[in-house]
């Protein structure tokens, strides 16, 4: 009986049967040639499954990212891209798993795109020895490199045609996470005839054509749309939600390009549409992913969803136990200065200020456990609770925690961020800024309750500072002065005094400078603030009532109030009363000591103090490093951050000895929770700060709900970045890219300094070009076209991957010895310092620009000149000024070229110069007359732009046209224009936040509506590589007609 009973217990204690669920989020799909199997990327590895679904098996197993698999024609091998060696290289692995072999070694972004029918060659898009993009083939056994074509435009996803007579590829193109993009930079579908060397567009209609593939009958497939989805509109207008008008032609679907008109094969409406299209080479089958699910179908048939299951384990430990002893982010002490409440790693902690004895004296108690952000604690006057800010409910909202029970209560329920927590002077209320449409200053009782708005300020920023008057009648706050800065972020700010009773604000500074950090004196007589008026930063005092004598004769003394203070303000002429009290600039907070009237502030990394009158200036701390600081509630202590710890400073002790508050916090970092918190943070940040509250007509919440399940597919940081890119890509917004926190150092390869002839099979490297200013162009180290380099540093060379693996690896900046066989058959050695690929590319670019200038000046008979702006950066602005005033002197017109320009923010400063007109005529004695001021072009101009002009390089031609300063020549720009900022996420992922939209002066959007030229002229690859520039020729023609 005992044995039977024991067996029964054991039986009931067994684990349940495993019940694996189907995965979501398979990416980079690849059907085997016969269509029987499907390779895909998931959790950082390459997997293989039957094309009917079922259990998938991994064929790679590495901590770094393995992606973009393709099959060998016999189905026995898989090639894939991986960053395991740094950068992105191509690797090979047996299709059933086994030893991995590396194929490419060049320091470029290599990824396999297709495998030749004879199994000898893998096709890829890459850069090798030129500045331009190229399609290359890599021999899988020898590593020999074959160049198919080059293009000055972006190239992606080349595929072999089914008859072996050509290639199909994407030309140009925005990232595939923006499949609904419509504009000049959309991915075109092209074909290249390898026998004739001819290129032709299959389709170039302004829409994206993504993931192209070629079927066994020669049919080309791609994911595209045929109808524009609205995204931006004129300033002040809102487009309806696209869900109300979406259809299959607007949604990314699979299309076939065979004989006749293109045919749509899938009919999805809404959602992400089809992604990661793959085509079986020898079978009539395609597969794709949609919203995390994988589908297979025969062209013309019905798509069937696959159920794929995997057995997967974590490659790295997802939980990490840490002992934290510094890194304090924010803090607040209890009223008796006996407990410190602080945040570290986004959690709230509590530790005694004065320690007991023993090894556990520094132990901190964890108050919150949230994978996101809990920060900025503010202890209540009774010391029993603390207010804090957290993103646990989406936005950075206000919460209250009971320090004894750790119970957390939400205070704000509005989906908006809050900042700048303060205790009111009577210590009965907590006040805070709220951002967004219901923004302003709110108060809530220290015991909790419903917030009340006391000052309405819609919008706002988390950097706005404010202070209560001693009687709580007024609030002083800083407010940006719209239009006062050349750029909006350079705006000056005023100090406003808000009357809580009358609900009105008055500007008390009335000067367009930086006025900030307003602070009321405890006696209610002055308003202190920081300012850069008078040419230097300092601390200023503003008397609230007219004074009885001139400042120089005024005796300023502080008398501590003995009772309630009533603040009385004479607003008549108040802005003219401000005077500089302290010349030492303040870098952070400024506060009065209520007991003595002394002024404390932060400057040069330390705490300083001065008397009530601004005299007796003294540096209190030494050594710098002081961070945020505040007065403790007792009024006798200052708490400040330094060295990752909070420090207490008793200001009544004349020795001013700071006491660091040590702690020991046992914390478990959960990477999975951290990633989910980063997802929440990203969504919340866009929800609160994306420049268009209508989200380009998209439903941002619905997008989140569709994308969130894909988090289970993340096994590598780059996959998390991919998911976020897909999510934000649905907004069809520029400047919103997300980059992975993962970085693997890669090789650094030198460049030989000449162009290799790719048609020469070797042995050796035949020289095709020796560009000017490269080492081989100088007499001492001369190289000639047609000569053959047989060895480098004594190693035999040919145009193959071994050149990068064993010869040029880590040779940048080192001396190279080349064994050169001349065209006369003689051999010599040439020795010079190796270039980097970047240096070589830069020399080619500069040579091209110099040739363009010479061409313009020659063709115009010396009447015109040419200047190129490579980026809208401060450095390029300086370079522009250096060149334009040199080359434009004595000319009758200038061409300004912003093609191949990634943007920046100097367009307005350039235009400021270009629209300047002469106002006078000057003539020093015995010298010629000239017009002034200097640096005025005062001549006709043409601006050249194209699909490669981005962001601020689109704003520049738009503004030049609006100001009637120039004619525009070239091609439409992409419509990639938003002001953006950085958005670091809690897991280390880096994102961008487009927070400010840009419209033309007529109200039309620049985002997703590129600038149209006055004269539309295209340039073909044939033109480019023949040295022809039809756009430049047109610019010369137009400008000569305008020149005087």
Q: Which of 556, 563, 474 has its CA nearest to residue 519?
A: 474
DSSP E strands, 680-833: 738-739, 750-751, 755-756, 765-769, 788-792, 795-796, 815-821, 827-833
Q: How far apart are CA 181 and CA 290, in angstroms?
A: 18
Greater confidence, 540 or 19? 540
Q: How far apart are CA 24 and CA 711, in angstroms?
A: 9
Q: pLDDT tens, 683-729?
A: 999 998 999 999 999 999 999 999 999 999 999 999 999 999 999 99
pLDDT of residue 462: 63
Residue 10 has pLDDT above 60, yes or no: no
Average pLDDT rounded to a whole number, residues 283-311: 95
3-state SS assignment for residue 125: strand
Residue 657 has pLDDT above 70, yes or no: yes
Q: pLDDT tens, 729-741?
A: 999 999 999 999 8
Q: How far apart are CA 748 and CA 753, in angstroms?
A: 15
φ, ψ of residue 480 in degrees (nearest 5): -60, 145
Contacts 24+ apart (CB under 8 A), 188-196: 189/220, 189/222, 189/257, 191/161, 191/166, 191/167, 191/220, 192/135, 192/148, 192/149, 192/166, 192/167, 192/168, 193/165, 193/166, 194/148, 194/165, 194/166, 194/167, 195/165, 195/166
Residue 126 near residue 81, CB atoms below 8 Å = no
- CA triplet 494, 497, 501: central angle to 5 degrees? 155
* Domain 27-230+246-309: CATH class, spelled out: mainly beta
Average pLDDT rounded to a whole number, residues 120-142: 93
Cβ partners under 8 Å of residue 516, min gap 6? 465, 478, 493, 495, 529, 530, 531
Residue 68 near residue 112, CB atoms below 8 Å = yes
Cβ partners under 8 Å of residue 394, min gap 6? 415, 680, 683, 684, 687
What the block records as the tokens of 1042 is 């305008």
Greater confidence, 608 or 534? 608
C-alpha count within 13 angstroms, C-beta hemisphere, residue 120: 5
Q: Which of 139, 140, 168, 138 has its CA nearest to residue 155?
A: 168
Residue 1 has pLDDT above 50, yes or no: no
Q: How far is CA 152 from the centre of its chain?
A: 25
pLDDT of residue 763: 96
Angle of the 874-887 helix axis to the 907-914 helix axis, nearest 10? 20
Cβ partners under 8 Å of residue 46, min gap 6? 39, 40, 58, 59, 60, 66, 67, 69, 78, 80, 93
Cβ count near 120 (within 10 Å): 15
Q: pLDDT tens, 752-774?
A: 999 999 999 989 999 999 999 99
The residue written with tokens 């300083």 in the block is: 608
Residue-averaged pLDDT of the chain = 94
Q: What percent of the chain has pLDDT over 70?
A: 98
What the block records as the tokens of 64 is 């770094």
3-state SS assignment for residue 853: helix
Cβ partners under 8 Å of residue 308, min gap 6? 22, 23, 26, 49, 53, 54, 55, 56, 294
Peptide bond between residue 933 and the one before it cis (omega within 30 degrees of 0): yes
Q: How far apart are CA 86 and CA 105, in angstroms?
A: 10
Residue 549 has pLDDT above 80, yes or no: no
pLDDT of residue 764: 96
We find that the CATH architecture of domain 465-626 is 6 Propeller (2.120)
Cβ partners under 8 Å of residue 138, min gap 6? 90, 103, 104, 121, 122, 124, 144, 145, 146, 801
C-alpha count within 13 angstroms, C-beta hemisphere, residue 971: 17
pLDDT of residue 12: 56
The residue written with tokens 């086994």 in the block is: 98
Q: How far apart are CA 75 and CA 35, in angstroms?
A: 10
What value does the CA radius of gyration of the chain take, rounded to a whole number of Å?
34
Measured CA to CA in angstroms, residue 905 lies from 739, 872, 955, 956, 977 at distances of: 22, 6, 9, 10, 11
DSSP string, 861-929: TTSEEEEE---BSHHHHHHHHHHHHHHSTT-SEEEEE-SSB--BS-HHHHHHHHT----EEE--TTS--
pLDDT of residue 395: 86
Q: pLDDT tens, 226-242?
A: 999 999 999 999 999 99
Q: How many residues does the chain have?
A: 1044
Average pLDDT rounded to a whole number, residues 399-412: 98
Q: Yes or no: is domain 325-463+631-666 CATH 3.40.50.720?
A: no
Give the CATH number of domain 860-975+1010-1042; options: 3.40.50.620, 3.40.50.2300, 3.90.226.10, 3.50.50.60.
Answer: 3.90.226.10
Residue 2 has pLDDT above 50, yes or no: no
pLDDT of residue 552: 60
Q: What percent of the chain has pLDDT over 90?
A: 85
Q: pLDDT tens, 861-899?
A: 999 999 999 999 999 999 999 999 999 989 999 999 999
Residue 14 has pLDDT above 90, yes or no: no
pTM: 0.91
- pLDDT band, very low/low/confident/very high, at 250 (cuts 50, 70, 90): very high
465-626 shares the fold of 27-230+246-309: yes
pLDDT of residue 483: 87
Residue 996 has pLDDT above 50, yes or no: yes
Q: How far apart are CA 269 and CA 247, in angstroms?
A: 5
Residue 6 has pLDDT above 80, yes or no: no
Q: pLDDT tens, 927-957?
A: 999 888 888 888 999 999 999 999 999 999 9
* Domain 750-836: CATH class, spelled out: mainly beta
Strand pairing of 440-445 and 429-434?
A: antiparallel
Domain ranges of the chain: 27-230+246-309, 325-463+631-666, 465-626, 669-739, 750-836, 860-975+1010-1042
pLDDT of residue 827: 96
Q: pLDDT tens, 78-117?
A: 999 999 998 899 999 999 999 999 999 988 889 999 999 9
What the block records as the tokens of 819 is 């064994």
Q: pLDDT tens, 787-800?
A: 999 999 999 999 99
């Amino acid at each position: 009986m005992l044995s039977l009973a024991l067996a029964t217990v054991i039986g009931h204690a067994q684990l349940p049967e495993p019940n694996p669920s189907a995965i979501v989020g398979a990416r980079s799909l690849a059907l085997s040639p016969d269509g029987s199997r499907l390779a895909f990327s998931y959790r950082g590895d390459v997997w293989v499954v039957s094309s009917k679904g079922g259990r998938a098996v991994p064929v790679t197993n590495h901590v770094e990212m393995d992606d973009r698999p393709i099959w060998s024609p016999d189905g026995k091998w898989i090639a894939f891209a991986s960053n395991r060696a740094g950068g992105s290289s191509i690797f090979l692995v047996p299709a059933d798993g086994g030893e991995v072999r590396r194929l490419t070694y060049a320091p470029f972004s290599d990824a396999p795109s297709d495998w030749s029918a004879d199994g000898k060659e893998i096709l890829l898009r890459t850069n090798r020895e030129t500045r331009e993009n190229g399609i290359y083939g890599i021999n899988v056994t020898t590593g020999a490199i074959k160049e198919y074509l080059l293009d000055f435009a972006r190239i992606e996803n080349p595929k072999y045609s089914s008859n072996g007579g050509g290639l199909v590829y994407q030309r140009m193109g925005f990232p595939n996470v923006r499949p609904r993009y419509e504009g000049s930079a959309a991915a075109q579908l092209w074909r290249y005839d390898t026998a004739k060397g001819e290129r032709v567009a299959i389709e170039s209609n302004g829409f994206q054509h993504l993931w192209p593939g070629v079927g066994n009958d020669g049919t080309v497939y791609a994911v595209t749309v045929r109808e524009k989805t609205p995204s931006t509109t004129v300033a002040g207008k809102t487009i309806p939600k696209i869900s109300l008008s979406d259809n299959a032609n607007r949604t990314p679907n699979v299309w076939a390009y065979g004989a006749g008109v293109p045919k749509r094969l899938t009919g999805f409406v809404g959602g992400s549409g089809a992604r990661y299209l793959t085509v079986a080479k020898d079978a009539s089958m395609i597969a794709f992913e949609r919203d995390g699910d994988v589908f297979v179908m025969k062209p013309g048939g019905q798509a069937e969803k696959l159920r794929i299951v995997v057995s997967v384990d974590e490659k790295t430990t997802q939980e990490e136990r840490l002992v934290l002893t510094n890194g304090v982010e924010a803090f607040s002490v209890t009223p008796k200065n006996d407990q410190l409440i602080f945040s570290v790693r986004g959690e709230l902690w509590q530790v005694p200020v004065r320690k007991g004895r023993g090894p556990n004296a520094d132990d901190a108690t964890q108050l919150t456990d949230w994978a996101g952000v809990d920060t900025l604690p503010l202890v209540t006057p009774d010391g029993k609770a603390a207010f804090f800010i957290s993103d646990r409910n989406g936005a950075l909202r206000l919460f209250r925690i009971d320090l004894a029970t750790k119970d957390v209560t939400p205070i704000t329920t509005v989906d908006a961020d809050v900042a700048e927590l303060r205790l009111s002077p009577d210590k009965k209320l907590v006040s805070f800024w709220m951002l967004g449409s219901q923004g302003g200053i709110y108060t809530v009782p220290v015991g909790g309750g419903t917030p009340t708005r006391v000052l309405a300020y819609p919008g706002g920023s988390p950097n706005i500072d404010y202070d209560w008057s001693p009687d709580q009648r007024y609030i002083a706050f800083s407010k940006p002065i719209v239009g006062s800065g050349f750029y909006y972020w350079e705006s000056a700010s005023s100090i406003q005094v808000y009357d809580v009773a009358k609900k009105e604000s008055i500007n008390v500074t009335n000067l367009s400078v930086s006025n900030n950090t307003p602070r009321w004196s405890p006696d209610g007589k002055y308003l202190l603030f920081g300012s850069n008026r008078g040419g230097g930063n300092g601390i200023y005092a503003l008397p609230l009532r007219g004074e009885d004598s001139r400042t120089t004769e005024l005796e300023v003394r502080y008398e501590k109030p003995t009772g309630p203070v009533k603040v009385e303000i004479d607003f008549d002429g108040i802005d003219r009363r401000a005077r500089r009290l302290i010349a030492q600039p303040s870098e952070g907070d400024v506060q009065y000591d209520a007991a003595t009237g002394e002024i404390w502030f932060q400057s040069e990394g330390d705490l300083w103090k001065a008397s009530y009158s601004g005299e007796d200036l003294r540096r209190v701390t030494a050594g710098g490093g002081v961070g945020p600081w505040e007065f403790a509630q007792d009024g006798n202590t200052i708490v400040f951050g330094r060295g990752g710890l909070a420090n207490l400073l008793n200001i009544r002790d004349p020795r001013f000895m700071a006491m660091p508050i040590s702690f020991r916090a046992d914390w478990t970092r959960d990477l999975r929770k951290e990633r989910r918190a980063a997802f929440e943070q990203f969504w919340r940040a866009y929800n609160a700060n994306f420049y268009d509250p209508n989200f380009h007509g998209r439903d941002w919440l619905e997008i989140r709900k569709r994308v969130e399940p894909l988090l289970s597919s993340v096994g590598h940081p780059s996959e998390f970045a991919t998911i976020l890119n897909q999510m934000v890509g649905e907004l069809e917004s520029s400047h919103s890219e997300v980059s992975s926190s993962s970085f693997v150092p890669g090789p650094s390869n030198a460049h030989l300094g000449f162009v290799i002839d790719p048609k020469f099979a070797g042995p050796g490297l035949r020289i095709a070009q020796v560009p000017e200013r490269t080492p081989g162009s100088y007499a001492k180290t001369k190289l000639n076209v047609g000569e053959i380099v047989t060895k480098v540093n004594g190693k035999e060379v040919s145009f193959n991957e071994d050149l990068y693996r064993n010869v040029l690896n880590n040779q940048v900046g080192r001396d190279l010895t080349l064994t050169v066989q001349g065209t006369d058959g003689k051999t010599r050695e040439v020795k010079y310092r190796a270039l980097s690929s970047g240096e070589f590319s830069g020399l080619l670019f500069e040579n091209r620009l110099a040739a363009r200038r010479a061409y313009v000046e020659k063709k115009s008979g010396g009447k015109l000149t040419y200047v190129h702006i490579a980026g809208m950066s401060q450095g390029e602005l300086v370079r522009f000024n250096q060149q334009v005033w040199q080359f434009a002197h004595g000319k009758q017109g200038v061409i300004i070229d912003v093609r191949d320009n990634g943007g920046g923010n100097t367009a307005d400063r350039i235009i400021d110069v270009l629209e300047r007109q002469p106002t006078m005529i000057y003539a020093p004695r015995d010298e010629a007359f000239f017009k002034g001021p200097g640096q005025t072009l005062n001549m006709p101009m043409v601006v050249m732009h194209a699909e490669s002009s981005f962001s601020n390089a689109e704003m520049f031609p738009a503004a030049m046209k609006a100001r009637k300063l120039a004619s525009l020549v070239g091609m439409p720009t992409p419509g990639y224009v938003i002001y953006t900022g950085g958005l670091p996420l809690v897991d280390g992922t880096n994102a961008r936040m487009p927070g400010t939209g840009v419209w033309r002066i007529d109200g039309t959007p620049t985002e997703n509506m590129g600038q149209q030229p006055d004269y539309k002229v295209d340039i073909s690859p044939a033109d480019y590589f023949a040295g022809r520039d039809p756009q430049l020729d047109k610019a010369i023609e137009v400008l000569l007609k305008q020149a005087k």
